[in-house]
Structures are given as C-alpha cells and as structure tokens.
Amino acid sequence: MTTAQKSGSGTDTIGNHGTGEGADESAGSSAPGAALSVSVWRGGPGGGRFHDYEVPARESQTVLDVVSWIQQEAEPALAYRFACRVGMCGSCAMTVNGVPRWTCRTHVQRVAANGRLQIAPLRNLPVIRDLAVDMDPFFERWTAAEGRFHPGTTRHDPMAPVDPASPARREADAAIECINCAVCHAACDTVAADPDYLGPAPLNRAWTLLNDAKDEGRDAILDAVAGRGGCLSCHSMGSCTRHCPNGLDPMRAIAGLKRATALRALRGRR
C-alpha cells in the first residue's frame, strides 16, 4: 500500500525501455485518500472545453484508469478509446498535461503536476468526440508512404535468406516495433505545419520495408517518400523520438530515408 512498494515493480518498467520521455516530469504525490484534480476535454469537431472532475487517487494508477473512472462513475457519455491496456494495441493515446502519451502505460504519479491532470485528445488529428480522434488521416499516410509489404516471390519460390546480423536487418529490427499509436504524429510540429507531410510513423514504417531483404518495392517506396510531404520535409527536431512510448527513433529512420533519396537523386534516377 505504500508508494515505495510499487517502484521497481514489473509493470512499471516493461515497455519504457530506451526512452527518456517523462523523465523531467515532477512526481506528484498520491497519499491514500487524496484526490486528483482532472480536467478532461469534452466536445466535438465544432469545439469544446475542459470539464473538471475529482478522481480518487489510487496506488499504481494509470492515466487510462483515471479516464475510465470518470466514464464509469461521473460521465457515462465520455468518449475515449482503449483495448489492450498493456501497451500493445496503440489505441489509448491522449494528450496528458500537454504531452502525447499512451495512457494505459503512463502512471499518474509520473505525470501529475501537484495532483493535477489535464487530458485532451491527440493533437494533429480531427476530433470525433471528447478524447476520441479520427485516426483515418494517420493511416491514410501509411498507405501513401507505401507502408505495406511488396512481395516479389510466390510460395513456390525458395525463401530468401535473411541474415539477422546484417546492417540492413538491424536497422529494420530497431524500427519495427511500432504500435500505430500516433503519439509521434501528435508530437511532430512539421505534421502540424504541413498538411502534406506523411509524418514520423509512416516514414518509419517505410524505412523498415526499405531494409527488408524480402521487400521488392524499393523504387515504389523511394518514390513515395521522396515526393511532396515525404522524408525531405522532416526537420530532425526529434519530438517523435522523444515521445515514442515504444522507444523507437523515427528521426533516425527518416534520416536514413533522406540519405537513400539523396543518393538516388545524385545517380540521376529521380
């Protein structure tokens, strides 16, 4: 029941490997019986405002727990999304105290500022209602970035060997564990400024495919990511990498795409 008990527990550390996100947040106190002051954005495409709720503070409480408590106890009509609650499905991302986060794996203690939480829908995507955003524009960009496998063989052909130690495979492996949560999309200011920009996650996906020995769509991928709104629009500000809850580094992946694009242009094959 004490706060000391939970620090270092398994659920607290799994999945937060390799990312510095949240490290600078002041730890809020959650004495038993204490309440959290939570502002939740409610509204729709036409606009909305923050509504305030008092939520009982609990041990090892996640931001998603707080949102669920509000929906179950105070505001049955509150719209929000989640599915797995263990950081795998990528559906629970919201803006927490101004920072995009996966709410199911974000402990209130790590992000609450003096017992306060402000919860808003993700940035850079149209709001459907309350905390639920329309993810279509995000996934349309995956398609536009050729973020799909391009097979070159049939089941009758021999399998192409993939060397797990090859540099290309290592690049792909480092970038592959994306859960499509759109946290990076919400964090990126180039996405906000340029409606054509494909954004970090689709470009990161294109990079994994470009490094996949079995993908035969190299030219299609490079055509897609070299075009308007492609990798060349990225300013390497690193907000994607900073906030990716899975510790991926889209900024690095995009730098790789830029190099591949530049080399192809230098060889005169645009």
Partner 1 sequence: MIRPHRRHPLWLAFALHRVSGLLLALFLPAHFGLLGTALNGAEPLDAALAWTDNPLVKFAEFGLVFLLAVHMFGGLRLLALEFLPWSPRQKTLAAAAVALAAATGGAFALQLV
Partner 2 sequence: MLTPRLYLAQRLSALILAPLVIGHVAVMIYAVQDGLSAAEILGRTRGSIGWALFYGLFAAAVAVHAAIGLRVIAHETLGLKGRGLAALTWAIFALLLGLGLRAVWAVTAGGAA
Residues contributing to the site for ligand SF4 (CB under 6 A)? 178-184, 187-188, 190, 200-201, 204, 234-240, 244, 246, 248, 250-251, 254
Q: Does 193 bind partner 1 (CB under 8 A)?
A: no
Binding mask 11-40 for partner 1 (x = CB under 8 A): -------------x----------------
Nearest to 203 by CA among 260, 151, 153: 260
Q: Distance between CA 40 and CA 266 in Å, rounded?
A: 51
- In this structure, what token pair is assigned to residue 174? 């480092």
The residue (of 120 and 186) whose beta carbon lies closer to partner 2 is 186
Tell me phi and psi for residue 36, to 5 degrees.
-100, 140
| C-alpha–C-alpha distance, residues 88 and 84, integer Å | 6
CA distances from 215 to 96, 159, 235, 253 (A): 38, 12, 28, 17
Query: In angstroms, rounded to a whole number, what is the distance separating the alpha carbons of residues 265 and 21?
Result: 36
**Minimum CB–partner distance for residue 264 and partner 2 (Å):** 7
**How many of the chain's residues bind partner 2 (CB under 8 A)?**
16
Q: What DSSP assignment string belongs to 164-208?
A: TTSHHHHHHHHH-------HHHHH-HHHHH-TT---HHHHHHHHH
Check binding of 187 to partner 1 (CB under 8 A). Answer: yes
Cα of first residue to Cα of last residue in the chain, in angstroms, is 62
Of positions 91, 103, 233, 239, contacts partner 1 by CB under 8 A: 239
Closest CA to 46 of 135, 121, 120, 128: 128
Encoded amino acid at 237, one letter: M
Residues 175-214 that bind partner 2 (CB under 8 A): 190, 193-194, 196
**Least gap, CB of 189 to partner 2 (angstroms):** 9
Q: Give the residue with the Cβ less far from partner 1, 34 or 262.
A: 262
Q: What angle do the packed helices 200-210 and 167-175 form, to 10 degrees?
A: 150
Q: Is 242 a residue that touches partner 1 (CB under 8 A)?
A: yes
Nearest approach, Cβ of residue 24 and partner 1 (Å):
7
**Rule CB under 8 A: is residue 262 a binding residue for partner 2?**
yes
Pick the stretch among 143-151, 163-171, 223-231, 247-255 that binds partner 2 (CB under 8 A): 223-231
Give which of partner 1, ligand SF4, partner 2, none residue 56 binds (C-beta under 5 to 8 Å, depending on kind).
none
CA 145/CA 26 separation, integer angstroms: 38
83 binds, among ligand FES, partner 1, ligand SF4, none (CB under 5 to 8 A by kind): ligand FES
In the complex, minimum distance from the CB of residue 187 to ligand SF4, in angstroms, rounded to a whole number: 6
Which residues are near partner 2 by CB under 8 A? 190, 193-194, 196, 226, 228-229, 232-233, 258, 261-262, 264-266, 270
